């Protein structure tokens, strides 16, 4: 998207809280942007300063030396998001065992899903980035968008409590949970495996094409996936992506056993 960068916080070089214990106040124009965002997102903050802080990316700190960034809020929001999602799944699928619930949750809160939700909320337009990150396309990077959504959730939890954040997150996640459960989450094996690897090994799965066969217009790809030093697969398909999905499915099946 070609959203114009929003103006940054005032007094960015000041301590993390001012002498009254609050976060620095954004300027009047930024306050209008924040008010419009709340209306669109269907939320209401008591502290506009806390809301503003949720959009401050660390790249701004790297360039300006400001201490107000959203990483602590992201840390909190990640846990709150997980709790809300787990509660929704626990109540919605009383017949499903823990392993099945964990698979759905992994997809529902994965980076791809969260970044799409962030775009739907226009978080990309609210981000406060350093110049370097801005020029490198940071406003539409999936990781930044997903992390900022988690920071927003953390900020809302601090500002308004669990019920408010539960209602907000439920509205965002319920359509995704419905979609995932209807598709039996088969189309997201790669996302599931990535989430599993990050959660258990803090590393990404690595896919390798080990064989190609057939004529150019009907090639069959054979792919293996390396998970934390162990090779799983192989998966085959008429495209590299299809073969990778199948390899991810085989790996998940082995890791679940």
Is residue 252 in a domain?
yes
Do 157 and 240 lie in one domain? The reply is: no
Do 50 and 72 lie in one domain? The reply is: yes
Tokens read off for 86: 């787990």
Is residue 207 in a domain?
yes
Catalytic residue among 78, 124, 176, 224: 78
Do 125 and 217 lie in one domain? The reply is: no
Is residue 20 in a domain?
no
Integer CA distances (angstroms), 138 to 5, 53, 143, 163, 251, in order = 11, 17, 9, 32, 32
Q: How many domains does the chain have?
A: 2
Q: How confident is the model at residue 17 (pLDDT cuts 50, 70, 90)?
A: very low
Enclosing domain of residue 204: 189-256
78 is catalytic: yes
Q: How confident is the model at residue 18 (pLDDT cuts 50, 70, 90)?
A: very low
Catalytic residue among 124, 147, 150, 159: 150
Is residue 108 in a domain?
yes
Do 80 and 205 lie in one domain? The reply is: no
184: pLDDT strictly greater than 70:
no
116 is catalytic: no
The CATH number linked to 41 is 1.10.1520.10
Do 37 and 67 lie in one domain? The reply is: yes
Is residue 198 in a domain?
yes
What's residue 10's pLDDT? 36
Do 179 and 206 lie in one domain? The reply is: no
pLDDT tens digit string along 126-175? 999 988 889 988 898 988 999 999 999 999 999 999 999 999 999 999 99
Residue that wins the pLDDT comparison between 25 and 47: 47
Is residue 10 in a domain?
no
Percentage of residues in the chain having pLDDT higher than 70: 86
């Amino acid at each position: 998207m070609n959203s114009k960068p929003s103006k940054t916080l005032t007094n960015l070089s000041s301590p993390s809280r001012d002498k009254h214990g609050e976060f620095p106040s954004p300027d009047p124009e930024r306050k209008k942007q924040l008010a419009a965002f709340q209306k669109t997102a269907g939320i209401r903050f008591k502290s506009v300063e806390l809301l503003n802080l949720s959009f401050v990316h660390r790249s701004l700190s790297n360039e300006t030396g400001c201490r107000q960034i959203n990483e602590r809020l992201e840390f909190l929001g990640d846990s709150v998001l997980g709790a809300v999602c787990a509660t929704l799944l626990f109540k919605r699928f009383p017949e499903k065992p823990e392993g099945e619930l964990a698979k759905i949750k992994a997809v529902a809160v994965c980076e791809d899903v969260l970044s799409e939700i962030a775009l739907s909320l226009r978080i990309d337009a609210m981000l406060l980035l350093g110049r370097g990150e801005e020029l490198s396309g940071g406003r539409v990077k999936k990781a930044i968008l997903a992390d900022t959504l988690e920071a927003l959730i953390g900020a809302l939890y601090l500002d308004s409590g669990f019920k408010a954040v539960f209602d907000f997150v439920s509205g965002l996640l319920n359509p995704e949970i419905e979609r995932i459960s209807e598709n039996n989450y088969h189309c997201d094996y790669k996302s599931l495996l990535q989430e599993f690897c990050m959660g258990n090994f803090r590393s990404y799965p690595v896919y390798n094409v080990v064989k190609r066969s057939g004529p150019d217009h009907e090639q069959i790809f054979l792919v293996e996936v390396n998970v934390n030093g162990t090779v799983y697969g192989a998966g085959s398909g008429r495209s590299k992506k299809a073969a990778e999905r199948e390899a991810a499915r085989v790996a998940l099946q082995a890791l679940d056993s």
